Amino acid sequence: MSLDKYNQKRDFKQTKEPKGKIDQSENELLFVVQKHAASHLHYDFRLELNGVLVSWAVPKGPSMNPEIKRLAMMVEDHPYSYKDFEGNIPAGNYGAGNVIVWDNGTYTAADNTTSPEKTLKENLKKGRLSFILKGKKLKGEFSLVKLKGKQENAWLLIKKNDKYASETDILLKNKSVISKKTLEDLEKKAEKTSTAAPEKKKPSKAAVKSKAAVFIKPMLAASTEKPFDDEDWVFENKYDGYRTIAVINPDEINLWSRNQLSFNESFETLIPELKKIEHTVVLDGEVVVENNEGKASFQLLQNYLKTGTGNLKYYVFDILNLDGNSTLKLNLLERKELLKILLDKHKLSHVFYSEHTVGNGIKEFEKAIKNKIEGIIAKKADSIYLSGKRSNDWLKIKIVQQEEAIIIGLTEPKKSRKNFGALLLGQYKGKKLQFIGKCGTGFSDATLKELYETLQPYFTTEAVITEKIAQRDSIQWVEPKLVCQVKFTEWTDDLHLRHPVYLGLRTDKNASEVLLSTKSKTVTTDKKKMNKAEEAAETKKDYDLKIGKIKLHLTNQHKIYFPEDGITKGDIVQYYNEVANFILPYLKNRPQSMNRFPNGINASGFYQKDVDTDKIPSWLKTEKVYSESNDKHLDYLICNNKQTLLYMANLGCIDINPWNSTIKKPENPDWLVIDIDPAQHKFEEVVKTALAVKEVIDGLESDCYCKTSGATGLHVYIPLGAKYDYEQIKILAELLAIEIHKQLPDITSLERTIKKRNHKIYIDYLQNRRGQTLAAPYSVRPVKGAWISTPLEWKEVDAKLHPSQFTIKNILKRLEKKGDLWRPVLGKGINIKKILTLLENRKKD
């Protein structure tokens, strides 16, 4: 922890901020929250640690509501003496503006530890910091959690659900806890003491210049037919205009099309507006022209480009870079939060923040129909920005069907019409240009003349498509260079547009980008109404996901896997994408017995051990391993990375079932398992059995760890460190099962045959054989509710416990708080010789 950055950014001849020196409290660690009206209002959250104040800028301020997560951007460490700083940072200095001490107090680690400061330092490095605040305003347990895979300094500040939690807005208490003044009081005082216009100061030598902003290729949306409701998605209006990237530097503003064609001249009236933004920034949005009723139209925009008249507006829906910092890896809601702060500050008259709603896609679509706009855009709330990529994380849902089409020819004019009769249109299917129909309406006399003159340089005598067109009129072929926008009623069965109407040229699109629409052939044979689950299952959602150098093709992501819960194949894939870092250590180098449910949990599944190495991608790792049950060597899949894990999920592997040993030591398991199979017993008795297992293992002076099976039982694992072979472990497991059964003879059984168990809980020790598998920790299980096989703390194994408490919808929050509880299972392991000696001594006693 260093104060070098702090000192470099400040000129202490101009600012009253304290110089950076190491210092510390005598007893308890302190915290301070300063409310800071700099270039934008924010709250500086600071924790004393190692002689400095570790600091985060929280744009929206802390909250006492556990449901609200606040973005916190880690900044440079501040000196201990900054804890009392209030007042004004003069213009021209870093962080110029007014500061008050909004809250202060002491804090300690939330973990029960003899060395809180040491624990806090270790947890800070891990990126998961939990602490208890004893402030005048902020009280109780909070966490700071680093956002993995996001921008380097992005964290979340989260209030834990304790007795201090509240939905009341704590920020309404807006006075300093030291001076009792508000920021507004400081501003009024500055106005009164100012007797003359402020002298222009030279920029501080310590001021840090942002890197120049540059064009960033925009992220593109895929298409889908139907609106949907989903709390993990947000919904925005689809604007009928030109996608525009605004690149704002202090000395230059540039407006670019999606293909980096300049819009500066076309939309020059926006440039003075954007100059008012006092930041280096890259914005993404849509430029439209609205009529007097506020309705945007592509034709109005076309007219504006010719005449310069109309109500031009720029709706901004994303921010890609701010003051030299890329925001691409922040999630969508975090980016939109920063964007709203930026635009709210400047109050521009022709530049607007694009509002969104969460979850209610169907309602927003109905509203769009009522307002007669083009449609809506659905965006996954936690999606990062994929520059230049078309992604299924963004979906456009249109009301009026529109298409981009390449002009490939003209027909001759008839009667009084001049210049041409109709446009011949095409789209690319792969590399082949395909005819999609002709368009003869939507033209004025002026448009006919202007468009004809625009197309003339591209006239050619050779046909630009290979297929024959049933067309009586003579055709003037046109090189496939220019793109137009058309609206139409539907696609015909032969893939032609029905009733297309010309809307205008798309100067922002290249012909090579105009592909035959995936919606072009609508299946109409089945008119029956489908329920929500069936309808979603019919909707195919295919896309490519790049992980490192590997491009993974994911299919049928909208297929419903859990009908009663509405959980899709895509939800399972996304879960494993997010939990990969937790589950992969327990899969590495282990043969996978794939339990596949390609049609969801209500359809029959099947196990697959052997994979066809000729038919799988070459980047997948396989290993030939002898299978006793098959009596031959099989090519097992080995899951050592995220791309393989997601490949398995895409195959329909809802749960993941690795061997107990690895290919490096196939005969030596890494753990011994006691599988508590409850049959029809109440779960309280399953818990009672698990506690009996722990009592036996504790008596043998060894460690064991418990997890839910994710179905109806519990699993207790004993770490082995791969020091013993399966024969040794199978004998030990049976000896342990006998001891456990002695503890609870009335409710447990060692009988393998179900009929002989007499409805008792089965203590299954036979899982400790070569080739046997159990669901991995953090694996989803194919049961209603999508329960997760979840590692537990032993204090959680009590009468309140039930496997249904841990599901795909809440497990990530638990992992955020508790981390990986299963790690000791891969540790050094027990001493079998010692255990056998203790067991032998028990028999003698």
Over the stretch 572-582, which tens digit does the pLDDT of each residue have?
999 999 999 99
Kindly report, residue by residue over 16-69, the tens digit of the pLDDT: 999 888 999 988 999 999 999 876 789 999 999 989 999 999 988 999 998 888
Res. 517 pLDDT band, cuts 50 70 90: low
Q: Which two tokens stand for residue 475?
A: 């055709």
What are 316's two structure tokens? Answer: 């901004």
pLDDT value at 208 more than 60: no
Q: Which residue bears the tokens 């506020």?
A: 294
Among the residue ranges 150-159, 459-468, 584-593, 715-724, the one predicted with the least confidence is: 150-159
Which letter does DSSP use for residue 626 in this model? E
The overall pTM is greater than 0.85: no
Q: Is residue 39 within 8 Å of residue 139, measured between CB atoms?
A: no
- Contacts of residue 106, Cβ cutoff 8 Å, sequence gap at least 6: 28, 29, 30, 31, 134
- Give the CATH superfamily of 220-398: DNA ligase/mRNA capping enzyme (3.30.470.30)
Q: How far apart are CA 226 and CA 530, in angstroms?
A: 13
With bands split at pLDDT 50, 70 and 90, how would you rate the model's confidence at 680?
A: low
Residue type, 107: Y
Rounded to whole angstroms, what are the CA distances from 713 to 479, 689, 706, 761, 785? 68, 10, 11, 10, 16
Give yes or no for a contact between 385 and 394, defined as CB atoms under 8 angstroms apart.
no
pLDDT (0 to 100) of residue 200: 43
Kindly state the average pLDDT of the residues 690-705: 93
pLDDT at 223 over 50: yes
* Average pLDDT score, the chain: 86
Q: What is the pLDDT of residue 108?
A: 94
At residue 591, does pLDDT exceed 90?
yes
In this predicted structure, which of 60-64, 513-517, 640-644, 809-813 has the lowest mean pLDDT? 513-517
- β-pairing, 761-764 vs 671-677, is antiparallel
CATH assignment, 671-838: 3.90.920.10
Location of each CATH 3.90.920.10 domain in the chain = 534-655, 671-838
pLDDT at 574: 92
- Report the pLDDT value the prediction gives residue 536, as an integer from 0 to 100: 41
* Residue 94's pLDDT band (cuts 50, 70, 90): confident
Please report the pLDDT score of residue 270 as a whole number: 92
Q: Does residue 81 surpass a pLDDT of 80?
A: yes
- What amino acid occupies position 348? L
pLDDT category at 96 given cuts 50, 70, 90 is: confident
**Mean per-residue pLDDT for 409-432?**
89
Residues, the chain, total? 845
Give the pLDDT confidence of 353-411 residue by residue, as tens digits: 999 998 888 888 888 887 777 789 999 988 999 998 888 899 988 876 788 999 999 99
Q: Give ∠ CA 115-116-122 in degrees, rounded to 5.
A: 95
- pLDDT tens per residue, range 112-153: 888 888 999 999 988 889 999 999 999 999 999 887 644 567
The winner for highest mean pLDDT among 541-545, 547-551, 601-605, 690-694 is: 690-694
- The confidence score (pLDDT) of residue 8 equals 83
**For residue 525, is pLDDT > 60?**
no
- State both tokens at 343: 């635009």
For residue 608, give the H/E element and its range: strand 606-608
The residue annotated as part of the active site, out of 9, 35, 83, 238, is: 238
Would residue 238 show up in a list of annotated catalytic residues for this protein? yes
Question: What single string gives the DSSP state of each residue in 810-845?
Answer: THHHHHHHH--TTGGGGSS---HHHHHHHHHHHHH-
Higher pLDDT, 636 or 299: 636
Q: Averaged over 332-357, what is the pLDDT?
A: 88
- Using a pLDDT cut of 70, give the percent of the chain over it: 92
Q: What is the pLDDT of residue 203?
A: 41
pLDDT, residue 308, reads 74
Q: Are 658 and 650 in contact (CB under 8 A)?
A: no
75: left (phi over 0), alpha (psi -120 to 50) or beta: beta
pLDDT, residue 539, reads 41
Which residue in the block uniquely carries the two structure tokens 């030291």? 178
Task: Give the right CATH number for 534-655 from 3.90.920.10, 3.40.50.300, 1.10.10.10, 3.40.50.720.
Answer: 3.90.920.10
pLDDT at position 346: 79
- Supply 406's token pair: 């390449």
pLDDT at 845: 58
pLDDT digits (tens, 9 = 90+) for 465-515: 988 887 677 899 999 999 999 988 667 767 888 778 898 898 778 888 888
Largest CA distance in the chain: 114
Q: Where are the CATH 2.40.50.140 domain residues in the chain?
A: 402-513
Range with lowest mean pLDDT among 73-82, 185-194, 386-395, 833-842: 185-194
Average pLDDT on 792-819 reads 92
The tens digit of pLDDT for each residue in 262-307 reads: 888 889 889 998 999 988 999 999 999 988 777 887 778 877 877 7
Average pLDDT of the residues in 618-631 = 85
> What is the CATH T-level fold of the domain 402-513, as seen in this structure?
OB fold (Dihydrolipoamide Acetyltransferase, E2P) (2.40.50)
Q: What is the pLDDT of residues 731-786, one digit of tens each?
A: 999 999 999 999 999 889 888 777 787 888 889 999 899 989 999 999 999 999 99
Judged against a pLDDT cut of 60, whether residue 532 lies above it is answered with no
